[in-house]
Homo-oligomer: A and B are copies of this chain.
């Protein structure tokens, strides 16, 4: 997991030669120490982006089922984008992603959101469904990235 506030004794990313290895990222908001669960947990511009691809509908029963996976997808990928930026790179330099899901039925949501982050050349991608993540069962998605500094 990688967040601004240390969750445990590890680095959010380590550079080695031209590579930056990013720790597995989950959608924990460091300020609130809480797992992202709804569109309200995202900044306004994120919600605008999500609305542009048909999410954040404003219909309570629809959003209730879609929001956790959609909002976590955005949060996790945005965090990887930030780490890339901290190393002077862009999202498209995150050339490999390992994406763990608690339920693969969330993949279509995640896939649409990832398209917002990789408008041009997509990354190499591994997707598996596993049992669970830290810090709790509300975490639906964990993504590990490898960034190549060109």
Q: Return A68 CB to nearest CB of chain B, in Å.
A: 11
Complex copy number for this chain: 12
Instruction: Say yes or no: is A64 at the interface (Cβ < 8 Å to chain B).
Output: yes
- Distance A53 CA – B112 CA, assembled complex (angstroms): 13
Q: Hey, what's the 0/1 contact readout for A93-123 against B, CB within 8 Å counting as 1?
A: 0011010100011011001101100100111
- Nearest chain B CB to A49's CB is how many angstroms away? 14
Which single member of B122, B124, B126, B133 contacts A128 (CB below 8 Å)? B133
Interface residue ranges, A against B (CB under 8 Å): 1, 5-14, 16-19, 21-24, 33, 53-54, 59-62, 64-66, 95-96, 98, 100, 104-105, 107-108, 111-112, 114-115, 118, 121-136, 142, 144, 146, 148
